């Protein structure tokens, strides 16, 4: 029986410590259902989720040709409309990412459709490969990526419009 007192004492001490921490928590916790106007009554406010605003209509954004890399570089970090002919659409099967290249050179402007947005295109029955050779206008934020160059992330099918 003498060997059992150590573990029993540890269990009783753990229970007492848990009970004490719960009592302190209840003591210092803000009251949940206090009468309105009572001292210490907490106010509650309804919380609603408001999704971020849709991208601004394309007419309000500056229009830049996809071949004008100097102007695109100046607008890096801002919202703009970019118009041009999609030279080639690349697809990475591993990451399910589409690349709308607006020129044959590696440094040409690129529209990028990541896998999360590709699902939205699929739900609307739009194949990003169908943009190849077409004149399009895309809008969003222009990024000057240190590795990949000038690009725009297309997060929604509504951010691309076919012109021809």
pTM: 0.61
Strands 88-92 and 97-101: what pairing? antiparallel
Q: Which residues pair with 48 in a beta bridge?
A: none
Count of Cβ atoms closer than 10 Å to residue 140 Cβ: 22
Give 5-57 pLDDT, tens digit per residue. 778 888 888 888 888 888 888 777 755 555 555 555 556 667 666 665 555 55
Determine whether 139 is exposed, middle or buried from the number of CB atoms within 10 Å of its CB (0-12, 13-18, 19+). Answer: buried
Structure token pair of residue 164? 């021809």
HSE-up of residue 71 (Cα within 13 Å, Cβ side): 12
């Amino acid at each position: 029986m003498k060997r059992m007192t150590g573990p029993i004492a540890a269990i009783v001490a753990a229970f007492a410590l848990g009970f004490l921490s719960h009592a302190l928590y209840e003591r210092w916790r803000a009251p949940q259902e206090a009468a309105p106007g009572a001292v210490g009554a907490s106010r509650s406010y309804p919380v609603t989720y408001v999704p971020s605003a849709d991208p601004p209509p394309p007419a309000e954004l500056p229009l830049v040709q996809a071949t004008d890399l100097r102007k695109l570089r100046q607008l890096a970090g801002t919202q703009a409309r970019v118009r041009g002919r999609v030279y080639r659409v690349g697809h990475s099967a591993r990451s399910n990412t589409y690349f709308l290249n607006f020129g044959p050179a590696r440094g040409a402007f690129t529209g990028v459709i990541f896998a999360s947005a590709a699902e939205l295109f699929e739900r609307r029955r739009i194949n990003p490969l169908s943009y190849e050779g077409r004149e399009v206008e895309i809008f969003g934020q222009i990024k000057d990526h240190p590795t990949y160059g000038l690009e725009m992330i297309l997060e929604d099918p509504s951010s691309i419009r076919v012109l021809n």
